Every structure is written in structure tokens, then in C-alpha cells.
Amino acid sequence: MTSAEKAKSEPLIDLQRLVVSIRRRRRMWLATALLGLIAGGLVAMLLPSPPTAVAQILVIHPDDSPTDSGTLMRTDVAVLQTTKTAGEALKKLNSTQAPEEFLKDYEGLGLTNNVLQLTVKGKTKDEALARAQAISDAFIAEYIGRNQAAAAAQQKALLDQRNQAQNELTPIEASIVTEEAKGRNANPAQLERLYSRRAELTSKISDYDGRAQEAGIGTPKVAAGTQIVDAPRILPHSLLKTLATNAGIGFALGLLAGLGLAAVTSVVKDRPVLRREISQHLGASVIAQLPKPPRFLRRSRAATRRQRVAATLVRAARQEGGSVSLLDLGARQITAALAVDMARELAGKGPVSLVDDLPKTDLRELAGEGPVQVLDRGDVPMAANERRIGVGSVEPGTAWTDLEFLGRETILVVRAGHANTEWLHTVARQLADRRIPIIGVVVVDPDPRDHTDGTLWDGLHTALRGRAGAVPERTAPPERREPRPVVKPVEMFPREKKSARRHPTPYKRADDNADAPTKRFAPVSPDNAEAL
């Protein structure tokens, strides 16, 4: 990680970190998905769906056309789901249920432009069938009655127009009789106009009579064609299908809720999980990593990996003699085991002792009987060639002043995703203030797909971290006193000084004839062209 990378503006949400954080919280969202699955199954078993009856009604529309886009059927569905239709059906059932509540128990669906499907729920199968039959009859009766009322209204309007035309015809007939009584004095033009008007009104009256008779007949096609084509029947109910459907819906909802909760908590808690972030916030490079310790199987393989990492840490702490500390942050057992492995690795080169300052861990039990001696902090002073490995913790509540007695240098054992960014900065700042260099960081339980660079290439100028920080404190340089100027004695009778003659140098001409050219050239003129 370089300064150029740090200078770049960081995104508001790091997608890689978000994905890794969600994947690390898979227990949570898998648990929520499992709870949703179980809840869906329990709902299907404890709250089974009521019996459902279905019926199909053929609806004939007087104004139906092949180009209809389904508007007429949508109108019929809307009329079906009204309190008027529900009230008529309840009257047929002799029920005291409110129409508003009854509307929740059935629904209509237009299958085609002329076929309406009715779905009704009931407490029992017989009740569902009776409800479906009553609603179908009420809808058909209301639909036929509505069409007949429209036909009657149309007939009445036509009869009114016929009566109006007859009222207009009566004075015209009287005018014709009066004009014809004049004999030869009658006005032919006036008679022609009256005859024409009488013929027009007579034609209208005849037309209105025919149309009124047709309207009075109504729409027999609508009344005869609108009927139940599929009698009410109970839909088959499969418990396994319902159980699978509800369980699948619960699983999907639980999974989505768990993923959302994991994403929100990862952003809010701000706990670094990538090696790049841990290295950046602690100001030290990641020199090793260990997977999550197994609970039951493959413990020998985990011990081999831990011993390999311990050998790496021993090579990193390359100073002969002195003390080094392992500070835990979220991986107490692994820190203690690493300290014991490091002590056993160094036991062949000289005396080694462990300083136990790690709470809730028994280093003596882990070390066993052997060359490694386990001491408490401040028990025995360290010998000249002795190597000491201090084991402590930097969890919240740590006594920072006690870390100086565990080792001059330290190695941090950090569990990925355990501490937030603020606490990592606190640890780095406290160690820098105590002038305890961080040799490196061991990341425990990293993400298997984390391939980010955990090496801190620079950045030691920001704080005294790393081995570059293990320098003596700066001392002020000694002040330099400028020597006093020496005063030359004043000569009472100064000697006359003759200026020395300057001799020619290879880089300068002599003073005599210094401006004289070395060669004279003939002037250029039209008569002397050879001079060019």
C-alpha cells in the first residue's frame, strides 16, 4: 500500500469489503432463511387454506365486438365485486354477514372477453359451493335486469319521441284541412310544404313505433346466453404443494431479510475484514495468516500450520536476545498457542521464557513440562542471553502502560472482523506512543477469497510504527559559537603596494594590442566578389 493509493478518495461503500462481510455473516442470513422456511411450513400446517369453490359464467354483451380489448369484462368484474351484488347473494343465503366483509371471501377474474371465473372461499366445502352458486345467480340476475332496464329506458325514450312527433303532426293536419277548404284560393306552395312536412312526421312516427317495439322486446340473446357454464366445484387441495409453496416463500423472505441485515450491520459496525484494511489501520504489514481453528477434525493440520507460522515469526524477530510480545485481539487461544510454539522454536538456541499476561488462558498448561519457563509479569529479571516472549492482550480495557514490560517489540495477532476501525487506530496510536515497534500482524480467520495486499510499503512517516520507529529519541544538537572576528593592527606607516602586472593566460589575450584583429579581411564590394 503506497501513499499514492492512500491519496485516492475512498468510495462511500467498498463493494469488496461489503461482499466479504456478508459472506462472513453467512450464519446469520442462513439462520434467518431457515427460520423463514420453518415459519412457512408451520403456517401451511397450522393455518391451512379454507375450502375454495370455483365457477365459470358465460356473459353475453349486447355491444360486444371482436376488437374489444377486455373493457366490458373488466366492467363486469368490477360490478361483481360491489356491495349490491354481495348483498343480493347474502339474501339468497339468508346470512347476516356484512356485504363489506363478504367481499373479502370471493373474487372474479376475466378469462376471456365473455367468460368470467368466480372464486369463493368458505368455512366448509358445502358453504363454499352454496356461496358460489348464490353469487353466480345474483350476478346473472343483476346483469340481465340491468340490460332489461336499459332496454325499457330506450323504449320509453323512443315512445316519447313518437308522441312529440304526433303532437307536431296534429297542427299540420289542421293547417292542411284549412288550406284545402279555400278551394281555388288555396296557396299551392303552402300546401306542398305542409304535405312534405306531414309525410316526414308520419315516417318518423312509424320508425319510432317499430324501434319502440324492438326495444320493448329487450335483448333475448343476452338473457338466454348469460348463464353458468361451469357449475361450482371445490378446487383440489394438496397439503404437500401448499407446504412447499409456503416454505419456499418463507425461505426467500428470510434470506432477503438476513442479507439485508448483514449488509446494514457490516456498514454500521465498520469492522475491517480485508488484509489491506487491517494493514492500513494498524500501520504494519501482514506477515502471516492462520485459518479459523477447527473444532473437531483436522487439528493436526492446524497445529502444523501454526508451527510453520511460529517459525516465520521467529525469523521476523531476528534480534539476538531481547524480548518480544504477542498481543491478542480477538484470537486468544491461537495467540497463546503461537507463543508456546515460538518458545519451543527458540529453546534450541538458548534460554527462553514466557511472560503470561493473557487473561482467561493457562500458558503453563499449554507449555507443559519442558525447557520453556512460564513466568508472571515482573517475577524474575531477564538474563543477558535470555529471550522472553510476552503474551498479552489489546482488547478494550487493556492497561497500556503494562505493555512495555512484555516486550520491546510486538507482533499483533488480530482476528479479521473482530474490532472496528476506531479501535485499530487506538491500538496503533497507543503502541506508537509507548515506542513499541510493530514487527507485523498475524491475521486469524481471514476470508479465503481475500487476495488484497497486506504489505505496508510506506507510511512510516505518519507515525512511529514498525521497526523504523525504533530509533533513539531526538536530542537537540549542541549550539555552535561563531568565532570572534580578528582585528588587524593598524599600520602607522603603511608601505606602498605596487600592483602586479597581469600576465597573459591561455584563456585571455594579452593587454598589449588586445583589441587588434588577428587577420585583416578585405572589404566586400561589387567589384570584389572573390572576398565572399
Per residue in 68-84, pLDDT tens? 888 899 999 999 999 99
Q: What is the pLDDT of residues 111-142, one digit of tens each?
A: 998 999 999 999 999 999 999 999 999 999 99
Q: Higher pLDDT residue, 178 or 381?
A: 178
pLDDT category at 488 given cuts 50, 70, 90 is: low
The arrangement of strands across the sheet holding 438-444 comes to 286-290, 438-444, 409-415, 322-329, 387-393, 352-356, 373-376
Look at the alpha carbons of 468, 332, 403, 319 in this order and tell me if their dihedral is positive or negative: negative
Q: Higher pLDDT residue, 523 or 403?
A: 403
Residues 319, 403 contacting (CB under 8 angstroms): no
pLDDT computed for residue 65 by the predictor: 80
The DSSP output letter for 449 is: T
Residues 357, 394 contacting (CB under 8 angstroms): no
Q: What is the pLDDT of residues 55-69, one digit of tens each?
A: 999 999 888 887 888
pLDDT category at 377 given cuts 50, 70, 90 is: confident
Query: Mean pLDDT of all residues in the chain?
Result: 82
Domain extents in the chain: 14-49+239-269, 52-234, 275-469
Q: Higher pLDDT residue, 433 or 223?
A: 433
pLDDT computed for residue 214 by the predictor: 78
pLDDT computed for residue 462 by the predictor: 38
User: Residue 151: what residue type?
Assistant: A
Q: What is the pLDDT of residues 315-338, one digit of tens each?
A: 888 655 578 999 999 999 999 999
pLDDT category at 386 given cuts 50, 70, 90 is: confident
Over residues 412-423, mean pLDDT: 93
pLDDT at 459 over 50: no
Domain 275-469 has CATH 3.40.50.300: yes
pLDDT category at 288 given cuts 50, 70, 90 is: very high
pLDDT at 364 over 50: yes
In the chain, the percentage of residues whose pLDDT exceeds 70 is 81
pLDDT computed for residue 146 by the predictor: 87
pLDDT computed for residue 476 by the predictor: 54
Over residues 294-300, mean pLDDT: 71
What long-range pairs does 255-261 form, CB within 8 A, spacing at least 24? 255/29, 255/32, 255/33, 255/36, 257/32, 257/36, 258/28, 258/29, 258/30, 258/31, 258/32, 258/33, 259/22, 259/29, 261/28, 261/29, 261/32
Residue 447 makes CB contacts below 8 A (sequence gap 6+) with 20, 23, 24, 273, 274, 416
User: Residue 393: what residue type?
Assistant: S
Residues 342, 314 contacting (CB under 8 angstroms): yes
- The listed CATH number (2.60.310, 3.30.70, 3.30.1890, 3.20.20) that belongs to domain 52-234: 3.30.1890
Distances (CA, A) of 26 to 5, 19, 57: 31, 11, 52
Distance CA 205, CA 255 (A): 76
pLDDT category at 469 given cuts 50, 70, 90 is: very low
Distance CA 152, CA 150 (A): 5
Residues 444, 414 contacting (CB under 8 angstroms): yes
pLDDT computed for residue 486 by the predictor: 61
Q: What is the pLDDT of residues 392-408, one digit of tens each?
A: 999 998 889 889 889 88
Residue 377 makes CB contacts below 8 A (sequence gap 6+) with 355, 356, 357, 390, 402, 405, 406
Q: What is the pLDDT of residues 212-260, one digit of tens each?
A: 887 777 678 888 889 999 999 999 888 889 899 999 999 999 999 999 9
pLDDT category at 471 given cuts 50, 70, 90 is: very low
pLDDT computed for residue 10 by the predictor: 64
For 83, the enclosing helix (H) or strand (E) is helix 83-93
- Among the listed residues 420, 393, 435, 432, the one whose alpha carbon sits nearest the alpha carbon of residue 283: 432
pLDDT at 54 over 90: yes
pTM greater than 0.75? no
Range with lowest mean pLDDT among 163-167, 328-332, 384-388, 506-510: 506-510
Domains 52-234 and 275-469 share a fold: no
> Which residue shows C-alpha cell 514487527?
439
Three cell numbers written together for 19? 461482499
Distance CA 326, CA 488 (A): 69
Q: Higher pLDDT residue, 104 or 503?
A: 104
pLDDT computed for residue 489 by the predictor: 62
Q: What is the pLDDT of residues 179-206, one digit of tens each?
A: 888 777 778 888 888 889 889 888 988 8
